[in-house]
Each structure stands twice: as structure tokens, then as C-alpha cells.
Amino acid sequence: MKSMKKLVTLLLSLVMLCALAMPAMADVTTLYSITINGAKDHKYTAYQVLRGVYFHGDGNNHTDANKEYLSDVQWGDDVNDATILTALQESTIIGADFAGKTKAEEVAYVLQGYANKSEKLDEFARIVGKNLKAGVAGKSSGVVGEDKKATISDLTAGYYFVKD
């Protein structure tokens, strides 16, 4: 009887271990692309501002099944994280939004609240542009085809600053 209890306990432990591992099964190998529609005849370069693991909500673990998330957020490889946070906090336009923030994940959370084509998002982009690491080339694309699209490919999950 004791052997049976030990076997059942071991099996239940393995099941629990497998169940706990499931939420961590996010896709970290997929590469993404950015497409700029209506592009001009210019070169476009993407710089990684924040990186993380892409996760599509599934309705479990406090996630909305219709939303996409970036988890495990860290500073991207192309920005100077030593100066960008200070520059964000010193901005007269968005500084209050970043007051007390110390982590890349907190910056991403603030950005989620910014509307597209807003003054705050423009200010964020201006600050990022001034805080790119020296010598970083980014990933580039020119305009391809008559449809005037520029596609920057082979990007890992993250937030990108695209410079024209």
C-alpha cells in the first residue's frame, strides 16, 4: 500500500510539474517583419527599443484571448538604456508618465496607453532617436515594387523604432 501511495504521489508531482511548465511555452524562435505601406523611395531602418517573448492571450492566467503581449520585457540591443530612461523622465511632455519607472517592462506598460499618432508617442520616438547606441546599424529595407511597400524582416519579438 505504501508503494502505491508513493507511485501515485510521484505521478501527481509529474503532472503538476508539466502543468506549471505550460504557460512558459511561448514562441521565442519566430522571426517577425515590419511592413511600411505607402512608403516613399527612401531607406527605412528598424532599431530594437524593447525585446521580449511574444505571447497571444488565451483567456487564462489573467490574459485577454484577443490581445497580444510581450512578456519578459528587456531593453533592446539598439538603445542606450543607461541614458534613455533618464531622458524619458526629464521630458516636459511625458516625464510624469515615467516618473519612478526603473525597468523596461514598466516602460512598455506606459507605452500601451499611448494612442497612435499622439503627441506623447511622437515625443517618445524623438527621445529614442537621440538615444540609439553609437555604431548600431539596425535592420534596413528600401521600397520594393510598385505597391510602395518597405518590409524589414528577420526581427525578433519586441518594440521597434523605424527611422526614415
pLDDT tens readout for residues 97-122: 999 999 999 999 999 899 988 999 99
**Residue 19 pLDDT > 50, yes or no?**
no
Residue 111 contacts by C-beta under 8 Å, 6 or more apart in sequence? 121, 124, 159
Handedness of CA 64, 107, 117, 27 (dihedral sign): negative
Residue 62 has a pLDDT of 62
pLDDT digits (tens, 9 = 90+) for 72-101: 999 999 999 889 999 999 999 999 999 999
CA 45 to CA 138: how far, in whole Å?
6
If one compares 130 and 14, the residue with the highest pLDDT of the two is 130
Determine how β-strand 149-155 pairs with β-strand 32-37. antiparallel
Residue 131 CB burial class (10 angstroms; 0-12, 13-18, ≥19): buried
**Interval 121-125 mean pLDDT:** 96
Look up the pTM and report it: 0.75
> Average pLDDT for residues 8-29, to the nearest whole number?
38
- Residue 52 is predicted with a pLDDT of 94
Q: Which of 5-9, 31-35, 149-153, 159-163 has the lowest mean pLDDT?
A: 5-9
